[in-house]
Amino acid sequence: MDVKTTLSQLVQDSGGLLRLKPALVTRLFPPPGRRLGLPDDAYDAGERGCVTERWLASTTEAQNPIHAPGEGLSFIDTADGAEISLRDAVEEAPDLIMGSHYANHHSGLGRLPKIFDNGDRTPFHIHQIQVDADKTGKDSKERSYYFPPDAPMGPHPEMFFGLHPFIVRERRKDIIARYFDDWENLDRILTLSRAYISVPDDAFHLPPGILHALGSALTIELREEPDAGAQSEVSAAAHDIPPSDAEEPGMITFVNQLDWEANGDPYFYENHHTPPVLMDGSKTASSEEWWIFYNTTKYSGTKLIVRPGCVCTCVDRGAYSILAWSGEGTFGELPMKGRSLTEDEVMVTCDRARSGVQVVNTGDQDLILFKFFGPDINDDAPMMKKYP
């Protein structure tokens, strides 16, 4: 199959709106929260673990201990059942998806949205800063976390970020060492951190090098791609430790990879809490749009709300993907329904984004759509003031 020829016809037939199939990803831990809308028995993947994530408009293949070819990739929903991944579409016909100018300056979409459906807390870990990631041939990754409304929060609806300031101020590596190899009581290390309750319709931005543990709240993450960014967990089995550092005790190597100042920032909440910000001029009687992923040039994202029985037109600067979260209606020529798996996800090509998409709410509740953009598309996204 000639991907570019087939895709060109698909884009023409769809008016630049490409329906995507859900991309489900398994993990060995934590257990699933079972909030992705699957049949109950579909979460169990045997020796590969359980389905705990859904990736959105993904051009990235999941890196798991037991590899499943194509896992994590989004596929275009075609009328004839042809198998075309979004990754192949972007690689073979980048101009059709991203526009010629953007494609000439970017090798891909540059962002990876995910839904985390964890039934328990994740281990305390970091994503390495670039100087350490370079040693393993990987890339450092920025990411942001948003807690969508109207979703069960699970048994541990809080996230842990950073370290108490005195630990950083006094460089108390000995305190961290006390917990490092205690596998039976691994969560005790969280006494050294600060917890923030996960509040619906709230968010945090997290640069690399900062310790964190995700809670059980259903969470939408927007981050740089690909998935294989460098990561270290607080355990004797910390991975992505470069061979040149292998002779050092695991704990010493680990703590040396921390961004110490960021972890002990006494203004951590003020510097990383990113609540929704209303977009200038977007609020009308019919609709409103809010920034929910911002404070970085690496990606951006918004929440569009269209009132029942109302219509609005979206005009954007570049390609993006959408996820219908709640309500129902139409997005251009396509029906949309929140959390339906088959009618909730669309890739919007650059040309269609710029020409505009009419959104109609045909239901009796708000139609909420999340939009995900790559780098260098929304240069007007808010940047937070740095405290103090």
Decide if pLDDT at 230 tops 50.
no
Whether residue 149 is contained in a domain is answered as yes
Q: Is 311 domain-assigned?
A: yes
- The CA distance from 94 to 107, in Å, is 8
- Strand pairing report for 328-331 and 357-361: antiparallel
pLDDT of residue 183: 63
What pLDDT is recorded for position 82? 84
**pLDDT recorded at residue 128:** 84
Dihedral sign, Cα of residue 192, residue 31, residue 140, residue 382: negative
Q: What is the mean pLDDT of residues 314-337?
A: 98
- Kindly state whether residues 35 and 86 are assigned to the same domain: yes
Residue 269 structure tokens: 């909440």
* Of residues 354 and 1, more confidently modeled: 354
Q: Is residue 201 part of a domain?
A: yes
- Does residue 235 lie within any of the structural domains? yes
Domain boundary residue among 221, 252, 272?
272
pTM metric for this prediction: 0.94
What average pLDDT does range 229-255 have in this prediction? 51
Same domain for 292 and 314, yes or no, is yes
Give the model's confidence band at 121: pLDDT under 50 very low, under 70 low, under 90 confident, else very high: very high
Average model confidence (pLDDT) for the chain? 91
Q: What percent of the chain has pLDDT over 70?
A: 92
Q: Do 120 and 158 share a domain, yes or no? A: yes
Segment 136-189, tens digit of pLDDT: 777 778 999 999 999 999 999 999 999 999 999 998 888 887 887 676 777 889
Do 264 and 120 share a structural domain? yes
Q: Are 130 and 208 in contact (CB under 8 A)?
A: yes
Q: Are 343 and 337 in contact (CB under 8 A)?
A: yes
Last residue of a domain, one of 240, 272, 304: 272
pLDDT (0 to 100) of residue 328: 98
Question: Is pLDDT at 105 greater than 50 in this prediction?
Answer: yes
**Cβ–Cβ < 8 Å for 27, 72:** no
Cis peptide before 157 (omega within 30 of 0): no
For the cut 90, the answer to whether the pLDDT of residue 387 exceeds it is yes
Work out the average pLDDT over 3-20: 96
In the chain, the amino acid numbered 229 is G
Overall number of domains in the chain: 2
Domain identity same for 205 and 289:
no
pLDDT one-digit tens code per residue, 287-319: 999 999 999 999 999 999 999 999 999 999 999
Query: Does 274 score more than 80 pLDDT?
Result: yes
Res. 239: pLDDT tops 50:
no
**Which CATH number covers residue 191?**
2.60.120.10
User: Could you give the angle at the alpha carbon of 219 between the alpha carbons of 119 and 156, nearest 5°?
Assistant: 40
The C-alpha atoms of residue 168 and residue 103 are separated, in whole angstroms, by 43
pLDDT at 47 over 90: yes
pLDDT band at 81 (very low <50, low <70, confident <90, very high): confident
Confidence of residue 247 (pLDDT cuts 50, 70, 90): very low
Higher pLDDT, 256 or 126: 126
